[in-house]
Amino acid sequence: MDSCDTPESTPRQRASSRLKDYFIGATPLQKRLESVRRQTSFVPTPPRRKIPQCSQLQDDVDPQKVAFLLHKQWTLYSLTPLYKFSYTNLKEYSKLLGAFIAAEKQKGLAVEVGEDFNIKVIFSALLGMKGTQRDPEAFLVQILSKSQLPSENREGKVLWTGWFCCIFGDSLLETVSEDFTCLPLFLANGAETNTAMIGTWFQKTFDCYFSPLAINAYNLSWMAAMWTACKMDHYMATTEFLWSVPCSPQRLDISYAIHPEDAKALWDSVHKTPGEVTQEEVDLFMDCLYSHFHRHFKIHLSATRLVRVSTSVASAHTDGKIKILCHKYLIGVLAYLTELAIFQIE
């Protein structure tokens, strides 16, 4: 994994690249050590994040092409870098994965009654789904059912969709050598058995590792603040929060719905620094909601666990499920999720 192992380079190339690294700063391993050291520094600075804006690459994204990504519930996973993945071999990967799935289904591992084995796998690149030019291209994997009759429409029904992306993944890209493709965020929609099969194939083929990405209450409140801060022309959904109170015998769920314009007004009164969201603002925003609720119901929501946040921009559940509703802020939402995924990998 280290960049030190480059046996094919000549001694002179190796020496000059070492000199280059010395001048630039560090080998990927040293950069990785530095980033870990930075994270465990004794007095941490509070995070500041940019409010999702339309990224400069947004023009490249065709709204029609990404419309199928919206209004769908995606299950999130974090993915370690893929070893020797190549965008030119997408057709070959489609064939290999298709064969693998067919073999698995015939083994009887994932047989559902009445399902036909005629499926097709398509790998395709998702152009424009990146934050900066440095981010690797996102790509999409779809499982379609092949229609039985040749006279019918060739394109069958989509059974499962999964896509890999990396939005503003600089902190990870810096620390990884060139053989690896960094696409830390994986989103899947469809049957869990298919997700597991495809995960196994990727893990075997590219020596990577998937792990489910849970979103804790701390990050959900950040998402709530950031998405409320987004300027919207019209609001499609109410802003809703769901808290889970751990009590016996049955769990109690508290749902709190606010008119989106009221939520935005509250945010505007709390917001000080233009273009940025700070920890204090997030805390104050949530504290306002908590104290309002306490005034009416005498319940301390801050002692319970926030499990779901739903706004007009997107909605997220603590189990790692996300639904993006607004095309304009798609990249912004994915940027934060990429950050969480990278953090989980590291």
Partner 1 sequence: MSVLRPLDKLPGLNTATILLVGTEDALLQQLADAMLKEDCASELKVHLAKSLPLPSNVTRPRIDLIMFVVNLHSKYSLRNVEESLHHVDATFFLGRVGFLATGAGRESHCSVHRNTVVKLAHTYRSPLLFCDLEVEGFRATMAQRLISAELTSVPVFLYIVCGTPPQHG
Our CB check for partner 1 shows the closer of 236 and 245 to be 245
All residues at 6 or more sequence positions from 234 whose CB lies less than 8 Å from its CB, including other chains: none
Our CB check for partner 1 shows the closer of 201 and 222 to be 222
What secondary structure does DSSP assign to 30-64, as a single string?
Answer: HHHHHHHHHHT-SSPPPPEEEPP---TTGGGS-HH
Residue 114 Cβ, how far from partner 1 at the closest point, in Å?
A: 37
Residue 180 Cβ, how far from partner 1 at the closest point, in Å?
A: 22
All residues at 6 or more sequence positions from 33 whose CB lies less than 8 Å from its CB, including other chains: none
Two tokens, residue 181: 């493709």
Two tokens, residue 40: 């465990």
Our CB check for partner 1 shows the closer of 187 and 306 to be 306
Residue 278 Cβ, how far from partner 1 at the closest point, in Å?
A: 13
Residue 304 Cβ, how far from partner 1 at the closest point, in Å?
A: 8
* Secondary structure element (H or E) that encloses residue 84, with its range: none
Residue 320 Cβ, how far from partner 1 at the closest point, in Å?
A: 9
Residue 83: strand, helix, or coil: strand
Q: What is the DSSP letter of 112?
A: -
All residues at 6 or more sequence positions from 269 whose CB lies less than 8 Å from its CB, including other chains: none
Residue 309 Cβ, how far from partner 1 at the closest point, in Å?
A: 12
CA 145, CA 158: separation in Å to the nearest integer?
A: 7
* Inter-residue contact 70 to 325 (CB < 8 Å): yes
C-alpha neighbours within 13 Å on the C-beta side of residue 14: 9
Our CB check for partner 1 shows the closer of 43 and 113 to be 43
Positive/negative CA dihedral, 76, 80, 85, 87 = positive
Our CB check for partner 1 shows the closer of 80 and 221 to be 221
The residues binding partner 1 (CB under 8 A) are 36, 39-40, 42-44, 46-47, 214-219, 221, 286, 290, 300, 302-306, 318, 340, 343-344
Residue 97 Cβ, how far from partner 1 at the closest point, in Å?
A: 31
C-alpha neighbours within 13 Å on the C-beta side of residue 129: 25
* Inter-residue contact 120 to 157 (CB < 8 Å): no
Our CB check for partner 1 shows the closer of 85 and 186 to be 186
Our CB check for partner 1 shows the closer of 161 and 219 to be 219
